A and B are shown apart, each in its own frame.
Chain A
Amino acid sequence: METTPRQSYLNSHTSPKWTSGFMSWFMSTDHKRIGIMYAVAMFSFFFIAVCLGFVMKLQKMYPASSGWEIIPAELYGSFFTLHAIIMIFLFIVPGAPAVLGNFFLPLQIGAKDVAFPRVNLLSFWLYLFGAIMAIVGILLGGADTGWTFTPPYSINTKTISIFGVAFDSISWMLTAAFILGWGTILTGINFIVTVHRMRAKGMGYFKMPLFTWSIYATSWLQVLATPVVGITLLMIVIERIMPVGFFDPSKGGDPILFQHLFWIYSHPAVYIMILPSMGLVSEIIPTNSQKPIFGYKSIAIASCSIAGVGYLLWAHHMFTTGMSDFAAILFSFLTFFVAIPTAIKVFNWTATLYKGSITLTPAMLFALAFIFNFSIGGLTGMFLGSLSTDIHLHDTDFVVAHFHYTMFGGAAFGLIGGIFHYFPKMFGKMYSMKWATTSFAFMFIGFNALYFPMLVLGYYGMPRRYHTYPDMPVFNSLQMASTIGSWILVTGVIMVLVVWIHALLKGKRTTEANPWNSSTLEWQTATPPTLFNFEDDVEITRDPYDYEAFRGEVKAGTSAGANNV
């Protein structure tokens, strides 16, 4: 591919009616534009939630006895509820699928869009509507049940009064979550059909890139898990309005049943959150090692295994609720199984590095950090999956650190790395490598400084969701370290966002198709891609990570490679 056409998706439109301004984006069915719109919305919400977290950490800088109080206990309750709701429902769950999945799934398989482009736009509108509804609910206040909405509190907690009007903030938030859920479901359906029906000629299932595999596995979880929690949350709304007895013990309901239904989604949800980022790592590592990924097939199958096995583990969130001992043992046993495909992936990524020609691009740094952070996250999960240790660690900061290591240090680092990886292709602009690397350093150091102490704090008994703690040397020092870590981390987050925004506004323009010399198909489009992605008909004749064949193609001029390789 020698000539890069001037027309790209950034100045071509899917609808003859909307060809400029806001509406040309808001009404666009182009998967690339939809991905970008998700990114803008998501990172805005992410930043709000980061600020909430910053204040929460600041609150815990000194023990209660010192008289230090930034926010009182009730407000702290709202803060962690909202921090979690935003991070989970508005950021990480849509996350990589909504941004990079939307943008790159069709590109990776050689398609011109997803299977149902209009449904794709509808998904985005549902996301935006639900998100705005959630934010409004947050601002109006009153939701302090924790993001888990556990009954009976979530059923009986008072409606609040706003300017004299009764406002049921819990039902409001639950309805917002229900609407958000439908966006996720429709995206999942879209991606599954896209993978099955729109692959390019010659691309059998085991010639698909690994990010595509991870999106596919994720989509199944989105389709089959989300409806369960959707209706369960509606059941809470129904119980708040009507005197049925679903989960209210005073009417004979079992609150633990709610937890079962809630976690039937919310445990697979964590695999929705992590699998796409794992897929991104599977792209970044071979690219920056310039060699095939180790064990391609086992990673593809492991992605599906994680999704499948991950569906069977939910009650490990409920060990201390009073469910039967038999169930506890069974779920603990099953929980250990999901570590196997996960470990296979970690091993394969590491093995890919061996004898590779390593380039430490910002994307690569985030991907390597993913492996480090996620390993800690996964290993700490073992302590939680094990019944006896879980009794001690449940509802402590150990749990909070565990899921931040996996969700933030894993999923979010992976997403950020993915964006650094794909940024030039998406926008035709290049960011400052120096500042990107610096932002990584702040994020990595800050992240570990913030969360590692929490592992120890939890071990020493520091409960989660508490706004302060008693005056003890081990608590004092670790909380202080954690708070300072949060400052470094937030600095890093701000730097990342500034690097991106600066690059979008003032970054060096590039039309280089394949700056990282990657072997997968999406790099063979123009930079930025044209509206329909591929100018010529695509036919696949080799494996996606066959770097030897790829180098041959670059030499022969049939594939675009990096200009400086």
Chain B
Amino acid sequence: MSDIAHPIEHHRDDEGTRLGFWLFLYTELFLFAAFFLVYAVYRSSHLEDFKLAAESLNTTIGTVNTIILLTSSLTMVLSLDALKKGAVKLAKTLLLVTFALGMAFLVIKGFEWSAKFEHHLFLQTAKGIAAGHGSPLLSPGEEMLSVGQVLFFGLYFIMTGTHALHIIIGAIWMLIVFFWISKGSISQDNHGVLERCGLYWHLVDVIWIFLFPLYYLVA
């Protein structure tokens, strides 16, 4: 019995691949939807605490980050359009700009997170409860957070953290795409990978579009 290898010639189906990718995006959407549901439930039962906790978030920074991400979506779609037109250099430049904007977003987020006061309070209150003290491990002059505030901050860190993780994934993907465009494996006639990277990035943007008002505009 002679074994023969017949590699399958991959008949390219760009539309089918896009269709499958949109389905993948919906799975990502549903991942975040679960978080949003948890947020919605706790917000509805702890609204005043949520508003109180949200006051410590800087609306200006949040707005700036929103604008950064929206701009990066623009440069991403322009990059794709450039590649479709055959303007490879322009496409690469715009892609790098998108990457840089994504990095800027992360840096700003990093500063936000390290704004110690609320972060510290949240961790200490929660740790205290977790350790069974009932009372938090606070320094003198610090006030314990209420239950609703603990819930708010927990959700805030995890949701923005998960979002940031997706930004990182998108950014790495962009670098890979940049490299492949340089190599020529992504081109005007074969731009599906860049297109999908773009779709992913736009979804990350859409998630933020909803995160922003729910966390920064509550107060």
Question: Does a CB–CB distance below 8 Å link A and B in the complex?
Answer: yes
When C-beta atoms are compared, the residue in chain B nearest to A17 turns out to be B5
Chain A nearest CB from B46 CB (Å) reads 7
B148 contacts A252, C-beta separation under 8 Å: yes
Contact with B along A511-546 (1 / 0, CB 8 A): 000000000000000000001100000000000000
B3 contacts A243, C-beta separation under 8 Å: no
B27 contacts A7, C-beta separation under 8 Å: no
Does B168 belong to the interface (CB within 8 Å)? no
Does A230 belong to the interface (CB within 8 Å)? yes
When C-beta atoms are compared, the residue in chain A nearest to B49 turns out to be A252
A251 contacts B27, C-beta separation under 8 Å: no
The count of residues in chain A whose C-beta lies closer than 8 Å to any C-beta of chain B is: 52
Chain A nearest CB from B128 CB (Å) reads 9
Does B179 belong to the interface (CB within 8 Å)? no
Measured between beta carbons, the chain A residues less than 8 angstroms from B147 are 245, 251-252
Does A53 belong to the interface (CB within 8 Å)? no
Measured between beta carbons, the chain A residues less than 8 angstroms from B151 are 245, 251-253
Measured between beta carbons, the chain B residues less than 8 angstroms from A190 are 20
**Residues 111-128 of B at the A interface (beta carbon under 8 Å):** 123, 126-127
How far does the alpha carbon of A189 sit from the alpha carbon of B28 in the complex, in Å?
Answer: 13
Measured between beta carbons, the chain A residues less than 8 angstroms from B35 are 231
Measured between beta carbons, the chain B residues less than 8 angstroms from A251 are 126, 129-130, 147, 150-151, 154
Q: How large is the interface on B (under 10, 10 to 19, 20 to 34, 35 or more residues)?
A: 35 or more
Measured between beta carbons, the chain B residues less than 8 angstroms from A252 are 42, 46, 147-148, 150-151
Measured between beta carbons, the chain A residues less than 8 angstroms from B3 are 11-13, 19-20, 24
Measured between beta carbons, the chain B residues less than 8 angstroms from A432 are none
Measured between beta carbons, the chain A residues less than 8 angstroms from B180 are none
Does B6 belong to the interface (CB within 8 Å)? yes
How far does the alpha carbon of A289 sit from the alpha carbon of B31 in the complex, in Å?
Answer: 45
Measured between beta carbons, the chain B residues less than 8 angstroms from A193 are 16-17, 19-20, 23
Measured between beta carbons, the chain A residues less than 8 angstroms from B16 are 115, 193, 196-198
Measured between beta carbons, the chain B residues less than 8 angstroms from A260 are 37
Chain B nearest CB from A462 CB (Å) reads 35
When C-beta atoms are compared, the residue in chain A nearest to B1 turns out to be A11
Contact check: which of B6, B24, B46 meets A531 at CB < 8 Å?
A: B6
B7 contacts A15, C-beta separation under 8 Å: yes
B126 contacts A245, C-beta separation under 8 Å: yes
How far does the alpha carbon of A193 sit from the alpha carbon of B157 in the complex, in Å?
Answer: 36
Q: If the complex has contacts A193-B19, A230-B31, are A244 and B8 also in contact, measured as CB distance less than 8 A?
A: no
Contact check: which of B19, B30, B127 meets A243 at CB < 8 Å?
A: B127
When C-beta atoms are compared, the residue in chain B nearest to A189 turns out to be B23
How far does the alpha carbon of A12 sit from the alpha carbon of B1 in the complex, in Å?
Answer: 10
Does B74 belong to the interface (CB within 8 Å)? no
How far does the alpha carbon of A450 sit from the alpha carbon of B3 in the complex, in Å?
Answer: 47
Contact check: which of A14, A117, A198 meets B6 at CB < 8 Å?
A: A14
Contact with A along B117-155 (1 / 0, CB 8 A): 000000100110110000000000000000110110011
B23 contacts A13, C-beta separation under 8 Å: no
Measured between beta carbons, the chain B residues less than 8 angstroms from A404 are none
Measured between beta carbons, the chain A residues less than 8 angstroms from B67 are none
B34 contacts A7, C-beta separation under 8 Å: no
Chain B nearest CB from A19 CB (Å) reads 5
Measured between beta carbons, the chain A residues less than 8 angstroms from B189 are none
When C-beta atoms are compared, the residue in chain A nearest to B156 turns out to be A244
Does A376 belong to the interface (CB within 8 Å)? no
Does A66 belong to the interface (CB within 8 Å)? no
A12 contacts B6, C-beta separation under 8 Å: yes
A125-133, A219-227, A386-394: which one contacts chain B? A219-227
Does A423 belong to the interface (CB within 8 Å)? no
Does A29 belong to the interface (CB within 8 Å)? yes
Contact check: which of A11, A117, A235 meets B4 at CB < 8 Å?
A: A11
A112 contacts B148, C-beta separation under 8 Å: no
How far does the alpha carbon of A252 sit from the alpha carbon of B13 in the complex, in Å?
Answer: 50
A245 contacts B20, C-beta separation under 8 Å: no
Chain A nearest CB from B108 CB (Å) reads 23
Does A353 belong to the interface (CB within 8 Å)? no
Chain A nearest CB from B120 CB (Å) reads 13
Does B33 belong to the interface (CB within 8 Å)? yes
How far does the alpha carbon of A245 sit from the alpha carbon of B153 in the complex, in Å?
Answer: 9
Does A563 belong to the interface (CB within 8 Å)? no
How far does the alpha carbon of A223 sit from the alpha carbon of B20 in the complex, in Å?
Answer: 11
Measured between beta carbons, the chain B residues less than 8 angstroms from A197 are 13, 15-16, 19
Q: Other CB < 8 Å A-B pairs besides A190-B20, A252-B147, 4 of them?
A: A13-B4, A196-B19, A226-B27, A532-B8
Q: Which 7 A-B pairs have the closest CB atoms?
A: A244-B154, A243-B126, A252-B147, A197-B16, A227-B30, A16-B5, A193-B20
A-B contact pairs, 8 of them (CB 8 A): A15-B7, A116-B17, A193-B16, A197-B15, A227-B28, A235-B38, A245-B126, A253-B151
